[in-house]
């Protein structure tokens, strides 16, 4: 078979398809979105579950349910999405899996498109389950097969940790012969998914017992290696995931003069690390992300410990993604650099598109609240977060999915007035409903603006679960009908828009305003397709 040119995300998706998966569950989030998008385009995936979920928690829970039924399944999300899914994720380590259960999480070191750079390996360690961290596109593909086998062998979920550079980089990938899906099969032990305390205590004991097996699997893993033959033992090197590529890049594909442990499967292969430590005068550790391995090795090290270099002692920057130059510098090797960026070059931050409906919604909102000054608009995660930038300067917070509504509520509860939430339609479906219910329960004095561009815009225009139902949902939750206001955000409608904003700010209770106009990007795409 010819090699396919696939993004890391796509290679994982293709691997899962070929490994007999029966269902994918996900909410869009950079850099993980392309896993599901690939599956949705794939002819091979017909009949396999591949529609978007409301959020990462519902996705994770659905995947656990499919695993219960004996089928292979995968939940996919970005790193902060795992925070949303943390409850089912942590507990899935206790229930374990029936059909193979993979949780693919794409981290974003250097925060190219995220609000933090948390390292999902810590979640995997926290949950005490095996972690796979591919170092290239082929490993993304192969680890789908391997991950399902590992998951079914020990009946545990397996975390697959990707990072932006791998998720969004293409390379040739060789496929294997596809295998068929699992048959439906109820768990043999009907207590398996019952986490009542008495049973959960037993499950925890079992998970603890499995740890030795997981370490043994890591030590024998085809994705881990110990290159012990090298001559120069002044340093030993540990590389995790992508860092292994940068190390080889620095040595331009030649033999590396120091012993190297490559780690792409966790828990840590302790024997190899032990042997490396004993045979070398010092260690240098390269991790794409936070210093998980380094912290474990150092522990509370005192006198007599050999030097261990990495992110904790400043050999490498504590934050940000790695690159070949950082690795070269840390090894004391010659570093290269072109000319500096000329001073004349101006920043070109992302911004709302020309003609974006959010732009009109914001300008009218600014006018409506001018008399109160700034500091009244809580916002959320999406394209509209760019309303923070000039010329809008329209919003004052961006914390996590859904936080606009509940932060506005908390501020309103304290007497802050006006308290306005601005949230996207897809974000509202993801995490806004429960917050709105809180507002209604307390009759909080808030104005909630649901910017409806009829898509999940920021990640490229995916559909979402509450499409076409926003008014019904709000009314159903208990917002009074006369305080659910809809307008079309166009410049010509400014007087009406400003008036509606003002009237609802004046109302002492829960108001929902829905500016509705389709995203210009999805509209353009539709026109193109219609020719």
Q: Which is nearer to another protein, 158 or 330 (CB)?
A: 330
3 state DSSP class of 187: coil
Exposure of 9 by Cβ count < 10 A (0-12 exposed, 13-18 middle, 19+ buried)? Answer: buried
Q: List binders of another protein among 1-40 (CB under 8 A).
A: 3, 5, 7, 30-31, 33-34
Q: Which of 325, 396, 465, 499 binds another protein (CB under 8 A)?
A: 325
- Work out whether 455 is an interface residue with another protein (CB under 8 A): no
d(CA 84, CA 89): 9
Q: How far is the CB of 480 from another protein (least distance, A)?
A: 36
Residue given tokens 């545990």 in the structure block:
156
Task: Tell me how many residues contact another protein (CB under 8 A).
Answer: 50
Task: Confirm or reject binding of residue 240 to another protein (CB under 8 A).
Answer: no
Say if residues 412 and 445 touch (Cβ distance below 8 Å).
yes
Which of the 8 DSSP states describes residue 230?
Answer: -
Q: Residue 488: CB partners within 8 Å, gap ≥ 6?
A: 515, 516, 517
390 binds another protein (CB under 8 A): yes
332 binds another protein (CB under 8 A): no
User: Which token pair is 6?
Assistant: 């696939």
Closest by CA position to 36, among listed 48, 382, 116: 48
Q: What is the largest CA-CA distance in the chain?
A: 78
Stretch that binds another protein, among 10-18, 182-190, 290-298, 333-341 (CB under 8 A): 333-341
**Near another protein by CB under 8 A, which window of 56-64, 96-104, 186-194, 383-391?**
383-391
Scanning the structure block, which residue is given the tokens 């293409």? 170
Helix (H, G, I), strand (E, B) or coil at 211: helix
Q: Cβ contacts of residue 427 below 8 Å, gap of 6+?
A: 380, 381, 382, 401, 402, 404
Contact predicate 125/94, CB 8 Å: no
Site for another protein in 470-499 (CB under 8 A): none
110 binds another protein (CB under 8 A): no
Cα–Cα distance, 185 to 100 (Å, whole number) = 12
The least distance separating another protein from the CB of residue 137, rounded to whole angstroms, comes to 8
Binding string, residues 154-193; x marks residues near another protein by CB under 8 A:
-----------xx-xxxxx---------------------
- Measured on CA atoms in the order 2, 6, 10, 16, is the torsion positive or negative? positive
Sole binder of another protein in the list 42, 54, 91, 113 (CB under 8 A): 113
Closest by alpha carbon to 267, among 330, 331, 218? 218
Out of 65, 355, 410, 460, the only residue in the binding site for another protein (CB under 8 A) is 460
Asked whether position 302 contacts another protein by CB under 8 A, the answer is no
Confirm or reject binding of residue 437 to another protein (CB under 8 A): no
Q: Mark the segment that binds another protein (CB under 8 A) among 124-132, 195-203, 337-345, 497-505.
A: 337-345
Residue 339 makes contact with another protein by CB under 8 A: yes
Q: Can residue 337 be called a binding residue for another protein (CB under 8 A)? A: yes
Is 320 a residue that touches another protein (CB under 8 A)? no
- Nearer to another protein by Cβ, of 327 and 408: the residue is 327
Contacts to another protein by CB under 8 A:
3, 5, 7, 30-31, 33-34, 112-113, 165-166, 168-172, 242, 245-246, 248-249, 253, 323-325, 328, 335-342, 344-353, 383, 386, 390, 458-460
């Amino acid at each position: 078979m010819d090699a396919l040119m696939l993004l890391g995300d796509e290679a994982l998706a293709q691997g899962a398809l070929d490994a007999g998966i029966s269902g994918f569950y996900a909410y869009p989030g950079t850099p993980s979105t392309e896993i599901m998008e690939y599956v949705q385009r794939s002819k091979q995936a017909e009949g396999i579950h591949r529609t978007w979920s409301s959020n990462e928690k519902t996705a994770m829970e659905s995947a656990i349910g499919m695993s219960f039924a004996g089928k292979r399944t995968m939940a996919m999300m970005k790193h902060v999405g795992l925070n949303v899914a943390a409850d089912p994720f942590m507990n899935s380590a206790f229930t374990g899996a029936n059909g193979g259960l993979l949780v693919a999480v794409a981290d974003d070191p250097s925060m190219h498109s995220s609000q933090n750079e948390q390292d999902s390996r810590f979640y995997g360690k926290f949950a005490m389950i095996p972690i796979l961290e591919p170092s290239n596109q082929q490993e993304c593909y192969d680890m789908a097969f391997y991950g399902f086998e590992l998951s079914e062998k020990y009946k545990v979920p397996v975390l697959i940790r990707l990072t932006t550079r791998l998720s969004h980089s293409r390379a040739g990938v060789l496929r294997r012969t596809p295998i068929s899906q699992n048959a439906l099969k109820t768990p043999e032990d009907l207590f398996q998914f019952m986490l009542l305390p008495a049973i959960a205590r037993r499950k925890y004991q079992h998970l603890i017992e499995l740890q030795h097996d997981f370490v043994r699997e890591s030590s024998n893993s085809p994705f881990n290696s110990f290159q012990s033959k090298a001559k120069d033992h002044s340093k030993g090197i540990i590389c995790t995931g992508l860092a292994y590529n940068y190390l080889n890049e620095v040595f331009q594909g030649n033999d590396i003069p120091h012993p190297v442990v490559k780690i792409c499967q966790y828990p840590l292969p302790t024997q190899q690390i032990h042997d490396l430590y004993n045979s070398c005068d010092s260690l240098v550790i390269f991790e794409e992300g936070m210093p998980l391995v380094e912290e474990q090795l150092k522990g509370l090290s005192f006198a007599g410990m050999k030097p261990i270099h990495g992110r904790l002692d400043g050999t490498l920057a504590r934050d940000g993604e790695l690159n070949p130059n950082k690795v070269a510098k840390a090894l004391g090797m010659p570093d290269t650099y072109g000319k500096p960026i000329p001073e004349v070059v101006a920043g070109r931050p992302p911004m709302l598109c020309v003609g974006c409906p959010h732009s009109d919604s914001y300008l009218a909102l600014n006018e409506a609240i001018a008399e109160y000054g700034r500091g009244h608009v809580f916002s959320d995660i999406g394209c509209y977060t760019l309303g923070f930038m000039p010329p809008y300067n329209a919003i004052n917070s961006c914390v996590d999915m859904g936080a606009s509504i509940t932060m506005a509520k908390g501020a309103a509860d304290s007497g802050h007035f006006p308290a306005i939430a601005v949230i996207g339609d897809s974000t509202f479906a993801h995490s806004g409903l429960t917050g709105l219910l809180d507002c209604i329960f307390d009759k909080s004095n808030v104005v909630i603006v649901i910017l409806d561009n009829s898509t999940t815009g920021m990640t490229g225009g995916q559909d979402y679960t509450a499409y076409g139902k926003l008014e019904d949902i709000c009314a159903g939750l208990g917002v009074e009908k006369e305080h659910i206001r809809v307008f079309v955000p166009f410049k010509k409608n400014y007087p009406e828009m400003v008036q509606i904003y003002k009237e609802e700010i004046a109302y002492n209770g829960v108001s929902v305003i829905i500016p509705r106009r389709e995203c210009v990007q999805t509209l353009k795409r539709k026109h193109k397709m219609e020719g």
